[in-house]
Protein backbone atom coordinates (compact mmCIF):
# COMPACT_ATOMS: atom_id res chain seq x y z
CA UNK A 1 0.00 0.00 0.00
CA UNK A 2 1.54 3.34 -1.01
CA UNK A 3 2.46 5.79 1.72
CA UNK A 4 -0.06 8.50 2.41
CA UNK A 5 0.97 11.73 0.66
CA UNK A 6 0.62 14.86 2.78
CA UNK A 7 -0.71 17.89 0.97
CA UNK A 8 1.14 21.18 1.50
CA UNK A 9 -0.29 23.29 4.34
CA UNK A 10 -3.16 25.54 3.32
CA UNK A 11 -3.70 28.97 4.83
CA UNK A 12 -6.94 29.23 6.81
CA UNK A 13 -9.97 31.00 5.38
CA UNK A 14 -11.49 32.07 8.70
CA UNK A 15 -10.03 32.40 12.21
CA UNK A 16 -11.98 32.47 15.47
CA UNK A 17 -10.01 34.74 17.80
CA UNK A 18 -11.02 34.53 21.47
CA UNK A 19 -10.38 37.43 23.85
CA UNK A 20 -12.72 36.93 26.79
CA UNK A 21 -11.71 39.67 29.22
CA UNK A 22 -10.86 42.62 27.00
CA UNK A 23 -12.08 43.85 23.63
CA UNK A 24 -9.89 45.01 20.74
CA UNK A 25 -12.22 48.00 20.59
CA UNK A 26 -11.11 49.19 24.06
CA UNK A 27 -8.58 52.00 24.49
CA UNK A 28 -5.21 50.58 25.61
CA UNK A 29 -3.80 52.05 28.79
CA UNK A 30 -6.86 51.76 31.02
CA UNK A 31 -8.84 48.97 32.66
CA UNK A 32 -7.66 45.61 31.36
CA UNK A 33 -6.69 46.99 27.95
CA UNK A 34 -3.02 47.01 27.07
CA UNK A 35 -0.52 45.38 24.75
CA UNK A 36 -2.74 42.36 24.16
CA UNK A 37 -5.43 44.60 22.68
CA UNK A 38 -2.89 46.18 20.34
CA UNK A 39 -1.64 42.71 19.36
CA UNK A 40 -5.12 41.43 18.48
CA UNK A 41 -6.05 44.56 16.52
CA UNK A 42 -2.85 44.66 14.48
CA UNK A 43 -2.69 40.94 13.76
CA UNK A 44 -6.39 40.73 12.85
CA UNK A 45 -6.10 43.57 10.36
CA UNK A 46 -3.11 42.01 8.68
CA UNK A 47 -4.73 38.59 8.50
CA UNK A 48 -7.73 40.23 6.83
CA UNK A 49 -5.40 41.94 4.36
CA UNK A 50 -4.24 38.43 3.38
CA UNK A 51 -7.83 37.38 2.67
CA UNK A 52 -8.34 35.59 6.02
CA UNK A 53 -11.57 36.58 7.76
CA UNK A 54 -11.30 37.08 11.52
CA UNK A 55 -14.10 36.88 14.08
CA UNK A 56 -13.04 38.20 17.50
CA UNK A 57 -15.19 36.89 20.36
CA UNK A 58 -15.14 39.07 23.48
CA UNK A 59 -17.41 39.52 26.49
CA UNK A 60 -20.06 42.23 26.28
CA UNK A 61 -19.43 44.78 29.02
CA UNK A 62 -22.38 47.08 28.29
CA UNK A 63 -25.98 46.59 27.25
CA UNK A 64 -25.43 49.41 24.75
CA UNK A 65 -22.88 47.42 22.73
CA UNK A 66 -24.19 46.02 19.44
CA UNK A 67 -23.86 42.24 19.13
CA UNK A 68 -21.63 42.60 16.07
CA UNK A 69 -19.17 45.36 15.12
CA UNK A 70 -17.06 45.51 11.98
CA UNK A 71 -13.72 46.68 13.38
CA UNK A 72 -12.19 46.91 9.90
CA UNK A 73 -12.79 45.18 6.55
CA UNK A 74 -12.62 41.44 7.16
CA UNK A 75 -12.48 41.75 10.97
CA UNK A 76 -15.67 41.33 13.00
CA UNK A 77 -15.94 41.77 16.77
CA UNK A 78 -18.71 39.65 18.33
CA UNK A 79 -19.90 40.66 21.80
CA UNK A 80 -20.94 37.61 23.81
CA UNK A 81 -23.29 38.04 26.77
CA UNK A 82 -21.83 36.26 29.79
CA UNK A 83 -22.61 37.52 33.27
CA UNK A 84 -23.50 41.05 34.32
CA UNK A 85 -22.39 43.75 31.91
CA UNK A 86 -20.74 46.19 34.30
CA UNK A 87 -18.76 45.78 37.49
CA UNK A 88 -17.35 42.31 36.82
CA UNK A 89 -13.65 42.01 37.64
CA UNK A 90 -11.25 39.77 35.75
CA UNK A 91 -10.95 37.51 38.80
CA UNK A 92 -14.72 36.85 38.60
CA UNK A 93 -14.71 35.83 34.94
CA UNK A 94 -13.92 32.10 35.40
CA UNK A 95 -17.48 31.66 36.68
CA UNK A 96 -18.77 33.02 33.37
CA UNK A 97 -16.70 30.85 31.03
CA UNK A 98 -19.50 28.30 30.58
CA UNK A 99 -21.92 31.02 29.41
CA UNK A 100 -19.26 32.59 27.20
CA UNK A 101 -18.36 29.27 25.60
CA UNK A 102 -22.03 28.55 24.91
CA UNK A 103 -22.27 31.88 23.09
CA UNK A 104 -19.24 31.10 20.93
CA UNK A 105 -20.46 27.60 20.06
CA UNK A 106 -23.96 28.92 19.33
CA UNK A 107 -22.57 31.40 16.80
CA UNK A 108 -20.60 28.70 14.98
CA UNK A 109 -23.63 26.39 14.94
CA UNK A 110 -25.49 28.85 12.71
CA UNK A 111 -23.08 28.04 9.87
CA UNK A 112 -22.19 24.98 7.87
CA UNK A 113 -19.65 22.64 9.53
CA UNK A 114 -16.09 23.77 9.01
CA UNK A 115 -16.94 27.48 9.26
CA UNK A 116 -13.75 28.17 11.24
CA UNK A 117 -10.41 26.69 10.29
CA UNK A 118 -8.53 27.55 13.49
CA UNK A 119 -9.06 28.98 16.98
CA UNK A 120 -6.54 31.50 18.33
CA UNK A 121 -7.00 32.22 22.04
CA UNK A 122 -5.38 35.07 23.97
CA UNK A 123 -4.77 34.82 27.75
CA UNK A 124 -5.64 31.78 29.84
CA UNK A 125 -9.37 32.54 30.19
CA UNK A 126 -9.71 32.51 26.42
CA UNK A 127 -7.62 29.35 26.25
CA UNK A 128 -10.21 27.53 28.33
CA UNK A 129 -12.90 28.54 25.82
CA UNK A 130 -10.67 27.75 22.85
CA UNK A 131 -9.91 24.30 24.20
CA UNK A 132 -13.60 23.35 24.19
CA UNK A 133 -14.20 24.95 20.78
CA UNK A 134 -11.22 23.05 19.42
CA UNK A 135 -12.66 19.71 20.44
CA UNK A 136 -16.18 20.57 19.23
CA UNK A 137 -15.08 21.90 15.84
CA UNK A 138 -12.09 19.59 15.26
CA UNK A 139 -9.80 22.47 14.37
CA UNK A 140 -6.41 23.33 15.88
CA UNK A 141 -6.06 25.58 18.92
CA UNK A 142 -3.31 28.21 18.79
CA UNK A 143 -2.74 29.91 22.14
CA UNK A 144 -0.87 33.07 23.13
CA UNK A 145 -0.59 33.48 26.90
CA UNK A 146 0.63 37.12 26.98
CA UNK A 147 1.34 36.75 30.71
CA UNK A 148 1.95 33.71 32.90
CA UNK A 149 0.83 33.38 36.51
CA UNK A 150 3.92 31.53 37.73
CA UNK A 151 6.18 34.18 36.24
CA UNK A 152 4.12 37.07 37.62
CA UNK A 153 4.04 35.53 41.09
CA UNK A 154 7.81 35.23 41.10
CA UNK A 155 8.20 39.00 40.55
CA UNK A 156 5.33 40.59 42.47
CA UNK A 157 5.37 44.32 43.08
CA UNK A 158 4.66 45.69 46.53
CA UNK A 159 0.90 45.93 46.92
CA UNK A 160 0.12 43.42 44.20
CA UNK A 161 -1.84 40.25 44.94
CA UNK A 162 -0.47 36.91 43.73
CA UNK A 163 -2.32 35.22 40.91
CA UNK A 164 -4.67 32.53 42.26
CA UNK A 165 -4.03 28.80 42.11
CA UNK A 166 -7.08 28.43 39.84
CA UNK A 167 -5.32 30.46 37.16
CA UNK A 168 -2.16 28.38 37.44
CA UNK A 169 -4.17 25.18 36.96
CA UNK A 170 -6.09 26.74 34.08
CA UNK A 171 -2.86 27.71 32.35
CA UNK A 172 -1.43 24.24 32.80
CA UNK A 173 -4.52 22.76 31.18
CA UNK A 174 -4.38 25.10 28.19
CA UNK A 175 -0.66 24.47 27.69
CA UNK A 176 -1.35 20.73 27.63
CA UNK A 177 -4.21 21.05 25.13
CA UNK A 178 -3.02 23.65 22.64
CA UNK A 179 -1.75 22.53 19.24
CA UNK A 180 0.60 25.49 19.09
CA UNK A 181 1.82 27.81 21.85
CA UNK A 182 2.96 31.20 20.60
CA UNK A 183 5.60 32.87 22.77
CA UNK A 184 6.73 36.46 22.27
CA UNK A 185 10.39 35.73 23.05
CA UNK A 186 12.84 32.91 23.60
CA UNK A 187 12.64 33.66 27.33
CA UNK A 188 8.88 33.16 27.36
CA UNK A 189 9.27 29.91 25.44
CA UNK A 190 11.70 28.67 28.12
CA UNK A 191 9.24 29.66 30.82
CA UNK A 192 6.47 27.68 29.12
CA UNK A 193 8.67 24.61 28.89
CA UNK A 194 10.38 24.86 32.28
CA UNK A 195 7.39 25.96 34.38
CA UNK A 196 4.47 24.43 32.48
CA UNK A 197 5.88 21.38 30.73
CA UNK A 198 5.12 22.72 27.25
CA UNK A 199 6.19 20.60 24.28
CA UNK A 200 9.09 22.46 22.60
CA UNK A 201 8.04 21.06 19.23
CA UNK A 202 4.76 22.92 19.48
CA UNK A 203 6.11 26.08 21.11
CA UNK A 204 6.87 28.82 18.60
CA UNK A 205 8.64 32.11 19.13
CA UNK A 206 6.79 34.81 17.18
CA UNK A 207 7.82 38.31 18.25
CA UNK A 208 5.13 41.00 18.15
CA UNK A 209 5.54 43.94 15.83
CA UNK A 210 5.08 47.67 15.70
CA UNK A 211 3.14 49.82 13.24
CA UNK A 212 6.11 51.41 11.49
CA UNK A 213 3.86 53.72 9.47
CA UNK A 214 2.22 55.25 12.52
CA UNK A 215 5.14 55.11 14.96
CA UNK A 216 7.97 56.73 13.03
CA UNK A 217 10.50 59.49 13.62
CA UNK A 218 9.26 63.03 13.21
CA UNK A 219 9.97 66.64 14.05
CA UNK A 220 10.55 66.70 17.81
CA UNK A 221 10.13 70.45 18.01
CA UNK A 222 6.79 70.25 16.18
CA UNK A 223 5.63 67.44 18.48
CA UNK A 224 6.50 69.57 21.50
CA UNK A 225 4.64 72.56 20.13
CA UNK A 226 1.57 70.38 19.54
CA UNK A 227 1.70 69.15 23.15
CA UNK A 228 2.58 72.49 24.74
CA UNK A 229 6.03 71.34 25.86
CA UNK A 230 8.89 73.88 26.04
CA UNK A 231 11.54 73.42 23.38
CA UNK A 232 14.35 73.10 25.94
CA UNK A 233 12.54 70.73 28.33
CA UNK A 234 14.02 67.40 29.39
CA UNK A 235 11.06 65.06 28.92
CA UNK A 236 10.74 61.57 30.38
CA UNK A 237 7.64 59.61 29.36
CA UNK A 238 5.89 56.60 30.88
CA UNK A 239 3.07 54.96 28.89
CA UNK A 240 0.89 52.22 30.33
CA UNK A 241 -1.66 51.21 32.91
CA UNK A 242 -1.02 52.76 36.30
CA UNK A 243 -0.62 49.79 38.62
CA UNK A 244 2.16 48.34 40.80
CA UNK A 245 3.23 45.83 38.13
CA UNK A 246 4.15 48.63 35.71
CA UNK A 247 6.06 50.53 38.45
CA UNK A 248 5.55 54.15 37.35
CA UNK A 249 6.46 55.08 40.94
CA UNK A 250 10.03 54.03 40.17
CA UNK A 251 10.23 56.64 37.41
CA UNK A 252 8.99 59.36 39.76
CA UNK A 253 11.54 58.37 42.39
CA UNK A 254 14.30 58.39 39.77
CA UNK A 255 13.21 61.82 38.54
CA UNK A 256 13.29 63.16 42.11
CA UNK A 257 16.79 61.76 42.50
CA UNK A 258 17.89 63.50 39.28
CA UNK A 259 16.58 66.85 40.58
CA UNK A 260 18.26 66.28 43.93
CA UNK A 261 21.58 65.56 42.23
CA UNK A 262 21.24 68.47 39.80
CA UNK A 263 18.96 71.25 41.15
CA UNK A 264 19.45 73.25 37.93
CA UNK A 265 17.50 70.52 36.13
CA UNK A 266 14.27 71.21 38.05
CA UNK A 267 12.95 74.01 35.84
CA UNK A 268 13.50 72.01 32.65
CA UNK A 269 12.42 68.52 33.73
CA UNK A 270 8.99 67.20 32.72
CA UNK A 271 7.74 63.71 33.54
CA UNK A 272 4.75 62.64 31.45
CA UNK A 273 2.66 59.74 32.79
CA UNK A 274 0.26 58.58 30.07
CA UNK A 275 -2.32 56.07 31.29
CA UNK A 276 -5.02 55.38 33.84
CA UNK A 277 -5.29 53.37 37.06
CA UNK A 278 -5.89 49.68 36.47
CA UNK A 279 -5.95 46.40 38.36
CA UNK A 280 -4.75 46.77 41.94
CA UNK A 281 -3.97 50.40 41.09
CA UNK A 282 -7.71 51.10 41.28
CA UNK A 283 -7.59 50.56 45.05
CA UNK A 284 -5.62 53.81 45.44
CA UNK A 285 -6.14 55.72 42.18
CA UNK A 286 -4.38 58.88 43.41
CA UNK A 287 -1.38 57.09 44.91
CA UNK A 288 1.00 58.18 42.16
CA UNK A 289 -0.08 61.82 42.35
CA UNK A 290 0.37 61.73 46.13
CA UNK A 291 3.84 60.24 45.66
CA UNK A 292 4.79 63.12 43.35
CA UNK A 293 3.75 65.55 46.08
CA UNK A 294 5.79 63.72 48.74
CA UNK A 295 8.83 63.67 46.46
CA UNK A 296 8.51 67.41 45.85
CA UNK A 297 8.14 67.11 42.07
CA UNK A 298 4.37 67.46 41.65
CA UNK A 299 4.93 70.59 39.54
CA UNK A 300 7.22 68.62 37.21
CA UNK A 301 4.81 65.72 36.51
CA UNK A 302 1.99 65.72 33.96
CA UNK A 303 -0.68 63.03 34.36
CA UNK A 304 -2.39 62.38 31.03
CA UNK A 305 -5.19 59.96 30.10
CA UNK A 306 -4.61 57.13 27.62
CA UNK A 307 -4.03 58.53 24.15
CA UNK A 308 -5.22 57.53 20.69
CA UNK A 309 -2.38 56.01 18.61
CA UNK A 310 -1.59 59.08 16.49
CA UNK A 311 -1.56 61.31 19.56
CA UNK A 312 0.55 58.76 21.43
CA UNK A 313 3.15 58.91 18.67
CA UNK A 314 3.45 62.66 19.34
CA UNK A 315 4.20 61.96 23.01
CA UNK A 316 6.95 59.52 22.05
CA UNK A 317 8.50 61.98 19.58
CA UNK A 318 8.37 64.82 22.10
CA UNK A 319 10.19 62.79 24.77
CA UNK A 320 13.93 62.57 25.33
CA UNK A 321 13.64 59.16 26.97
CA UNK A 322 10.85 56.60 27.38
CA UNK A 323 11.02 54.68 30.66
CA UNK A 324 9.59 51.15 31.11
CA UNK A 325 10.36 50.12 34.72
CA UNK A 326 7.93 47.16 34.96
CA UNK A 327 8.43 44.29 37.38
CA UNK A 328 7.63 41.97 34.49
CA UNK A 329 6.70 42.28 30.81
CA UNK A 330 6.02 39.43 28.41
CA UNK A 331 7.35 41.72 25.69
CA UNK A 332 6.92 45.48 26.09
CA UNK A 333 5.21 46.99 23.04
CA UNK A 334 5.53 50.48 24.53
CA UNK A 335 9.32 50.19 24.33
CA UNK A 336 9.11 49.18 20.68
CA UNK A 337 6.69 52.00 19.79
CA UNK A 338 8.94 54.60 21.43
CA UNK A 339 12.02 53.33 19.60
CA UNK A 340 10.17 53.32 16.29
CA UNK A 341 9.60 57.05 16.89
CA UNK A 342 13.34 57.53 17.44
CA UNK A 343 13.14 57.78 21.24
CA UNK A 344 15.63 55.66 23.21
CA UNK A 345 14.37 53.62 26.14
CA UNK A 346 15.43 52.92 29.71
CA UNK A 347 13.80 49.65 30.72
CA UNK A 348 13.87 46.96 33.38
CA UNK A 349 15.96 43.95 32.45
CA UNK A 350 13.02 41.56 32.82
CA UNK A 351 10.81 39.33 30.67
CA UNK A 352 10.73 40.30 27.03
CA UNK A 353 12.27 43.75 27.46
CA UNK A 354 15.83 42.52 26.67
CA UNK A 355 14.39 41.54 23.28
CA UNK A 356 12.41 44.74 22.82
CA UNK A 357 15.41 46.93 23.76
CA UNK A 358 18.93 46.43 22.42
CA UNK A 359 21.00 47.30 25.48
CA UNK A 360 23.58 49.97 24.74
CA UNK A 361 22.34 50.37 21.16
CA UNK A 362 18.70 51.50 21.35
CA UNK A 363 18.56 52.24 25.07
CA UNK A 364 19.70 50.95 28.43
CA UNK A 365 18.48 47.99 30.47
CA UNK A 366 18.52 48.27 34.25
CA UNK A 367 18.97 45.17 36.40
CA UNK A 368 18.15 46.93 39.67
CA UNK A 369 15.01 48.31 41.33
CA UNK A 370 17.03 51.14 42.87
CA UNK A 371 15.81 54.62 41.78
CA UNK A 372 19.45 55.77 41.76
CA UNK A 373 20.24 53.13 39.12
CA UNK A 374 17.37 54.39 36.96
CA UNK A 375 18.48 58.00 37.43
CA UNK A 376 21.99 57.05 36.31
CA UNK A 377 20.65 55.13 33.30
CA UNK A 378 18.48 58.06 32.23
CA UNK A 379 21.42 60.45 32.52
CA UNK A 380 23.58 58.10 30.42
CA UNK A 381 20.92 57.99 27.70
CA UNK A 382 20.55 61.79 27.71
CA UNK A 383 24.32 62.10 27.26
CA UNK A 384 24.27 59.81 24.20
CA UNK A 385 20.81 60.52 22.89
CA UNK A 386 21.57 61.17 19.16
CA UNK A 387 23.50 57.90 18.84
CA UNK A 388 20.92 55.89 20.79
CA UNK A 389 18.04 57.49 18.86
CA UNK A 390 19.53 56.22 15.61
CA UNK A 391 19.99 52.78 17.18
CA UNK A 392 16.40 52.84 18.41
CA UNK A 393 15.06 53.42 14.92
CA UNK A 394 17.19 50.62 13.48
CA UNK A 395 16.21 48.17 16.20
CA UNK A 396 12.47 48.84 15.92
CA UNK A 397 12.67 48.52 12.16
CA UNK A 398 13.43 44.81 12.56
CA UNK A 399 9.93 44.27 13.99
CA UNK A 400 6.75 44.52 11.97
CA UNK A 401 3.20 43.21 12.30
CA UNK A 402 3.45 41.87 8.75
CA UNK A 403 6.19 39.45 9.82
CA UNK A 404 4.17 38.51 12.90
CA UNK A 405 1.11 37.77 10.78
CA UNK A 406 3.13 35.73 8.28
CA UNK A 407 4.52 33.57 11.08
CA UNK A 408 1.07 33.06 12.60
CA UNK A 409 -0.44 32.04 9.25
CA UNK A 410 2.34 29.46 8.89
CA UNK A 411 1.59 28.19 12.41
CA UNK A 412 -2.13 27.93 11.67
CA UNK A 413 -1.48 26.03 8.45
CA UNK A 414 1.05 23.60 9.91
CA UNK A 415 -1.17 22.83 12.91
CA UNK A 416 -4.14 22.16 10.60
CA UNK A 417 -2.05 19.91 8.37
CA UNK A 418 -0.79 18.02 11.41
CA UNK A 419 -4.33 17.51 12.66
CA UNK A 420 -5.54 16.37 9.24
CA UNK A 421 -2.70 13.83 9.08
CA UNK A 422 -3.60 12.43 12.48
CA UNK A 423 -0.21 13.44 13.87
CA UNK A 424 -1.51 15.07 17.06
CA UNK A 425 -0.25 13.12 20.10
CA UNK A 426 -2.49 12.19 22.99
CA UNK A 427 -3.32 15.21 25.12
CA UNK A 428 -2.92 13.38 28.38
CA UNK A 429 0.54 12.17 27.39
CA UNK A 430 1.54 15.74 26.63
CA UNK A 431 0.10 17.01 29.88
CA UNK A 432 1.96 14.48 31.99
CA UNK A 433 5.19 14.31 30.00
CA UNK A 434 8.50 15.03 31.69
CA UNK A 435 9.85 18.55 31.44
CA UNK A 436 12.38 18.93 28.69
CA UNK A 437 14.91 21.68 27.97
CA UNK A 438 13.84 24.36 25.53
CA UNK A 439 16.45 23.28 22.99
CA UNK A 440 14.49 22.60 19.82
CA UNK A 441 11.88 25.30 20.33
CA UNK A 442 11.13 26.80 16.95
CA UNK A 443 11.78 30.44 16.17
CA UNK A 444 9.22 31.46 13.56
CA UNK A 445 11.39 34.28 12.18
> Does 315 appear as a known binding residue?
no
* 37 assigned binding-site residue: yes
Q: Is 279 annotated as a binding residue?
A: no
Question: Binding residue per annotation — 28?
Answer: yes
In the DSSP assignment, the letter for residue 444 is: -
- Asked whether 190 and 152 are in contact (CB, 8 A), the reply is no
CA atoms within 13 A on the CB side of 160: 22
Annotated binding residue 116: no
Question: Radius of gyration (Cα) for the chain, nearest Å?
Answer: 22
User: Does residue 403 have a known ligand-binding role?
Assistant: no
Q: Which contiguous run of DSSP H or E holds residue 340?
A: helix 333-340
Number of alpha carbons in the 13 Å side-chain half-sphere of residue 99: 14
Q: What count of other Cβ atoms lies within 10 Å of the Cβ of residue 165?
A: 9
Q: Does the annotation place 90 within a ligand binding site?
A: yes
Residue 144 annotated in ligand binding: no
Tell me if 113 is assigned to a ligand binding site. Answer: no
Q: Is 36 labelled as part of a ligand binding site?
A: yes
- φ and ψ at residue 179, rounded to 5 degrees: -80, -30
User: Are the C-beta atoms of 409 and 47 separated by less than 8 Å?
Assistant: yes
The DSSP bridge partners found for residue 304 are: 274
Distance CA 42, CA 38 (A): 6
Q: How far is CA 373 from CA 178, 347, 368, 393, in A?
A: 41, 11, 7, 25
Distance of CA 292 to the CA centre of its chain: 28
Query: Which are the contacts of 306, defined by CB distance < 8 A and separation ≥ 6?
Result: 27, 28, 29, 30, 274, 275, 276
Residue 167 assigned to a binding site: yes
Helix residue spans in 110-219 (DSSP H): 123-137, 149-153, 165-177, 186-196
Is 13 labelled a binding residue?
Answer: no
Q: Is 123 annotated as a binding residue?
A: yes
- 322: exposed, middle or buried (Cβ count in 10 Å: 0-12, 13-18, 19+): buried
Report yes or no: 366 and 251 within 8 Å, Cβ to Cβ. Answer: no
Residue 35 among known ligand-binding residues: yes
**Residue 50 assigned ligand-binding role:** no
412 assigned binding-site residue: no
- Residues belonging to the binding site for 1D-myo-inositol 3-phosphate are 21, 32-37, 90, 123, 147, 167
- Residues belonging to the binding site are 21, 27-28, 32-37, 90, 123, 147, 167, 241, 246, 307, 316-317, 319, 329, 337, 343
- Residues belonging to the binding site for UDP-N-acetyl-alpha-D-glucosamine are 27-28, 35, 241, 246, 307, 329, 337
- Residues belonging to the binding site for Mg(2+) are 316-317, 319, 343
Amino acid sequence: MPARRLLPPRAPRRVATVSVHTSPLDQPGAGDAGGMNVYIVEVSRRLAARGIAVDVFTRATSSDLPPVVEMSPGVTVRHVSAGPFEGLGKEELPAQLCAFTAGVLREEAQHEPGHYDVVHSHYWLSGQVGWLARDRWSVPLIHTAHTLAKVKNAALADGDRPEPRARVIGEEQVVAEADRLVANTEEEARQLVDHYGADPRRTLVVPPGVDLDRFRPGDRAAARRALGVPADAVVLVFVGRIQPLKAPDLLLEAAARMVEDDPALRDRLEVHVVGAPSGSGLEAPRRLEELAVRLGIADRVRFLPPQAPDRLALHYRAADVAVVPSHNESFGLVALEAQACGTPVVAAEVGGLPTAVDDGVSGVLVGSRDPAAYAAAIRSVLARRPLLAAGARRHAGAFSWERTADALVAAYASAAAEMAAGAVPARRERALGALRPVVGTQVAW
